[in-house]
Amino acid sequence: MTKEECYRLGKITKPFGFKGQVIFFLDVDEPQDYADMDSAFVEVKGQLVPYFFKVININGNKATVEFEELTAEQALALVGCDLYLPLSLLPELTGNQFYFHEVIGYKVIDGEHGYIGDIRTIIEYPAQPLFQIFKGETEILVPVIDPVIDHLDRDNKTLYINAPAGLIELYLNE
């Protein structure tokens, strides 16, 4: 399994108790959806390694986990590692909801300016994520917020937006 075939679930943040349990930070919208999870991939030295859980207890966006067949020392060595699950486990979204990885490569059509480019990536800043759109060599950054997103057309891989007034002109020098 490669990272491209997975999504980041969270991170192992610290040990818990003295029996080899650790705390996961779950970087997801609905942590409780993962209450029945019995395994995850842990990124160890750049490789995804499957680990199975003996116990998982979720409280908010944190989970206390005890691994199967790991000593306390082995579990402690995983602190700081990222957690991944296969993309196939993500629930399918509908309407204007989307996963960031899903819209990479989509065309972007602005209500005022028409085609403004293709989404190259989504930059995740603490305040809000931004679509990184390129039209030729010109980079355009547009906030990923509900008021901007008009319609998502999955069939044609197109995102329709209504960019804030003046934003597109700023990048395209119009």
The whole-number pLDDT of residue 91 equals 79
- Domain covering 3-89, topology: Elongation Factor Tu (Ef-tu); domain 3 (2.40.30)
Provide CATH 2.30.30.240 ranges for the chain: 100-172
- pLDDT for res 174: 60
Condensed to tens digits (0 to 9), the pLDDT of residues 66-117 reads 999 899 999 999 999 999 999 988 878 888 999 888 999 999 999 999 999 9
The structure's pTM equals: 0.70
Residues 6+ apart with CB under 8 A from 85: 6, 7, 9, 37, 40, 41
- 163 has pLDDT over 90: yes
- Note the pLDDT tens digit of each residue in 43-55: 999 999 999 999 9
pLDDT of 169 above 70: yes
Question: Percentage of the chain surpassing pLDDT 90?
Answer: 80
The yes/no answer on whether domain 100-172 falls in CATH 2.30.30.240 is yes
What pLDDT sits at residue 114? 96
Tell me where in the chain the CATH 2.40.30.60 domain(s) lie. Answer: 3-89
